[in-house]
Chain A
Amino acid sequence: MAEMLTTADGIPLKAALARAQSRARRKALFLVLPLLIFTLLSFVLPIGAMMARSVHNPEFVASTDRGTGAVTPIMQNLKGWFDANPLGTEPDEAAYAALVADLAHLQETKASGSAGTRINYDLPGTLSLFKSGARGAGKLEPPFKESLLADDARWGDPKLWQAMRAATAGVTADFYLAALDRTRAADGSIVQAEENRQIYIKLFLRTFGLSALITFVCLLLAFPVAHLLATLPMAKSNLLMILVLLPFWTSLLVRTSAWMVLLQEQGVLNDSLVGLGLITEDQRLAMMYNTTGTIIAMTHILLPFMILPLYSVMRTIKPSYVRAARSLGATSWTAFRRVYLPQTLPGIGAGGLLVFILAVGYYITPALVGGASGRLISNMIADHMNDTLNWSLAAALSAILLAAVLILYWLYDRLVGIDKLKLG
């Protein structure tokens, strides 16, 4: 066996090397630590907490005091009954007694809103049932099944019992079902939601469809501009670049409002068309508060995100390649298609991905100019965050959106290769 190599002071070389490397790694870690902590605190934790909400909603079994943060367990008797009796058991007198005891407890702890709101997500219209039930529970006499049903027959609804059983678990996939226009029937099986409540799948499809369309329009508009930028002499291209960047630096709201001024029915564009006699007064075009408005405004706002990556890639393409192709007999179209275009693909990929992902999550522009038909899934998520306060559903919708974007990213990686992405 060969003698072990050592350093001058007798430490085995391998150990010395490992120590030196680990010191270097620690230093490197120390340098990236601020970014790591920042990412963790501002990105991973909030998103993780939001995702957790989409599957975990304990409002039915735990009421939180918003002032002190104290958590009170509620509906524990009923939870016990559900634990002891499997799915499909007809609720008996013991179940109703547990329910009545819990309702009386809700009234004491002022938690009927918490429990009722949670069931109301699954079974609309039940919030009032819980509130009135809690108010009257103290006065009910046994047998509880008869007296509670006499108070309000809705307590006997098998769908209600199914919803309550699901809600006692705390952890649930029901919000994902709701986000995909599905609901649970009384026996716990998954069925389609009523037709007049189906909305999310349609909105997801619309969001992806519109985003793809906007990406395509952006590409069509950006390609010649980027080419011009890359080939013009420096002085002229700088001026053009400023024209591209100026709107990019302008506030999003200002640009959206500007489009509102231009596009509305009594707006600049319609006035000009009427003034030129191209359309009559009552033929004014509806270009805002609909899909058209969303497409126009979003295309304009996202255009720089397409131009800049394209430009940075095109600048590196040597003009001699196309000249060589031409001199070897290619027509200008063939030279473009076979020589120039393939070299711009990394830019097209980067711009396309960037614009598409931004468009999928776009919120403020569709909210302002989209009207009813130009609304996207992000507007719905905002509605659930702000208006209906159903954060679990908002989280489920966001998670689906995130998953869809990640799948697209993965597909792109498989088809084109993420290493080919070039942002500049």
Chain B
Amino acid sequence: MKKLLVLSTALTSFGLAAQADITVMSWGGSYETSQVEGYNKPYTAATGKNVTMMAVDNPATPIKAMVEAGNVTVDIADVEYADAIRLCDEGLVETIDPAMLPAGADGTPATEDFLPGAITDCAVASIVFSTVFAYDTTKFPEGPKTMADFFDTAKFPGKRGMRKGAKANLEMALMADGVPAADVYATLETPEGVDRAFAKLDTIKGDVIWWEAGAQPPQLLADGEVAMSTAYNGRIFAAAVTEGKPFQVVWDGQVYEYDVFVIPKGAPNLEEAKEWLKFATSTEQLAAQAAWISYGPARKSSAPLVGLFNDGKTEMGPHMPTSPENMTNALPSSFEFWADRDAELTERFNAWLAQ
């Protein structure tokens, strides 16, 4: 009898341990690799818990369906900043108490160690990423230099790749049309400004191939399907450095923002998810991730720890969106603007696309 009791207790605790493993929904590709290497492997080594990754085009989108259906299968989702605000407002994600986050390596409290705005009611930022455009150097020896060049198919012939959506495209169109980065959102707030952005997009509409997953632009460039494409800067970096592709990033007119972690309401392993979140967004882990992809860590204390790429020779600094020489004409994406106007402008964008 005692034996049976011991056995069943062991089995139950084994069952619990297996349940405690968590699932993280993210963007796939080289970004997922950086998260596995930077967060998950050290986490498993430290705690013995397994982390499963799930890749989708945009992790913000399946959350509502999951929560509404009462069938939440992921514990953490990696989403864009504006989406996190929206999900938080709609009550689809858990609130997160910033006090639970560990202090920086130098002892600075988390609320001060994170970059401004990187912690919200429901989200904790991990990285700063940027939407840039990149081109194939074999196609243009004398390459494009400015955002306006991206829209100039006479000077730089060839197809363009762009993300299927309004966000970042409208900003880039305005910057290409001569609006200074500082005035972009003031312009977009007006109906004329939106018209102007769409009019600029009209000029290349026939030449655009629309992508949806972050892994597509490097693929489209490699296949020669497009001559240049907007892309997440880290994806281009990964393809260029690890696979030796002849891709060049143009930083002029980059649109940068935070990528954040949220916990969907009803996550199956809430406590475990919080443990993982604390671990992943600590100073060391954010710095460790930066050795795998060129996205800037969201903690100030991580910055000094960022050194070389995992090939041991590429300096990461110049490839980061926040590097001073890349910031000469850069636009911080406005989450206030997109949290409020996303639905409206997406609708307009879809109508424009169908015309």
Which A residues have a C-beta under 8 Å from some C-beta of B?
A: 63-67, 110, 112-114, 116-117, 120-121, 124-125, 127-128, 131, 196-199, 202-203, 206, 264-266, 289, 371-373, 375, 380, 383, 385-391
Contact = CB atoms under 8 A, between A and B. Distances in A.
B314 interface: no
Contact of B344 (A125, A380, A386): A125
Interface string B332-355: 000010011111101110111111
The 9 closest A-B pairs by CB, nearest first: A124-B344, A113-B89, A128-B340, A199-B351, A386-B61, A266-B224, A66-B265, A372-B353, A113-B90
A120 B89 contact: no
B210 A124 contact: no
A117 B352 CA distance: 23
A120 B343 contact: yes
Interface in B84-101: 86, 88-92, 94
Residue of A64, A125, A386 with highest tally of chain B CB at under 10 A: A386
B209 interface: yes
B224 A66 contact: no
A371 B159 CA distance: 13
Contacts of A127: 89, 339-340, 343
A71 to B, nearest CB: 12
Interface residues of B, number: 41
Interface string B38-77: 0000000000000000000010011011011000000000
Contacts of A199: 347, 350-351, 354-355
Contacts of B209: 289, 371
Nearest to A389: B64
Residue of A66, A67, A112, A127 with highest tally of chain B CB at under 10 A: A66
Nearest to B89: A113
A380 B225 contact: no
Given A375-B354, A386-B65, A66 B340 contact: no
Nearest to A59: B90
Nearest to B205: A372
Contacts of A206: 354
B348 A197 contact: yes
A65 B208 CA distance: 42
A367 B225 CA distance: 17
A266 B346 CA distance: 31
Given A66-B67, A265-B159, A266-B225, A383 B350 contact: yes
B91 A264 contact: no
23 contacts: A66-B91, A66-B265, A67-B91, A113-B86, A113-B88, A113-B89, A117-B90, A127-B340, A131-B340, A196-B351, A197-B347, A199-B355, A202-B354, A203-B354, A206-B354, A264-B225, A265-B159, A372-B353, A375-B353, A375-B354, A388-B342, A388-B347, A389-B64
Residue of A125, A202, A203 with highest tally of chain B CB at under 10 A: A125
Nearest to A113: B89
B223 A124 contact: no
B224 A388 contact: no
B266 interface: yes
Contacts of A289: 209-210
How would you classify the secondary structure of chain B's contact residues: helix, strand, loop or mixed?
Answer: helix
Contacts of A124: 341, 343-344, 347
B219 to A, nearest CB: 11
Contacts of B64: 389
A233 B61 CA distance: 54
Contacts, number: 100
A388 B346 contact: yes
A386 B58 CA distance: 10
Residue of B91, B342, B350 with highest tally of chain A CB at under 10 A: B350
A112 B89 contact: yes
Contacts of B266: 66-67
Nearest to A203: B354
A369 B12 CA distance: 49
A123 to B, nearest CB: 9
B351 A197 contact: yes
Given A199-B355, A264-B225, 15 more contacts: A63-B91, A66-B91, A66-B265, A110-B91, A114-B90, A117-B90, A124-B341, A127-B339, A127-B343, A128-B340, A196-B348, A198-B351, A265-B224, A289-B210, A388-B346
A179 B350 CA distance: 14
A110 B343 CA distance: 21
Interface string B133-164: 00000000000000000000000000100000
Contacts of A121: 343
B343 A385 contact: no
A385 B64 CA distance: 9
Contact of A125 (B90, B340, B353): B340
Contact of B92 (A66, A110, A125, A196): A66
A239 to B, nearest CB: 35
Nearest to B159: A265
B343 A388 contact: yes
Interface string B154-194: 00000100000000000000000000000000000000000
B85 to A, nearest CB: 10
A114 B91 CA distance: 8
B11 to A, nearest CB: 31
Given A387-B61, A387-B346, A372 B210 contact: yes
Nearest to B340: A128
A195 to B, nearest CB: 9
Contacts of B350: 199, 380, 383
Interface in B297-355: 336, 339-344, 346-348, 350-355
Contact of A113 (B91, B210, B223, B342): B91
Contacts of A128: 336, 339-341
A159 to B, nearest CB: 14
Interface in B192-249: 198, 205, 208-210, 223-225
Contacts of B198: 196
Contact of B210 (A125, A265, A266, A371): A371
A174 to B, nearest CB: 15
Contacts of B265: 66-67
Contacts of A66: 67-68, 91-92, 265-266
Contacts of A371: 209-210
A267 to B, nearest CB: 8
Residue of B89, B208, B266, B341 with highest tally of chain A CB at under 10 A: B89
B334 to A, nearest CB: 12
A120 B90 CA distance: 13
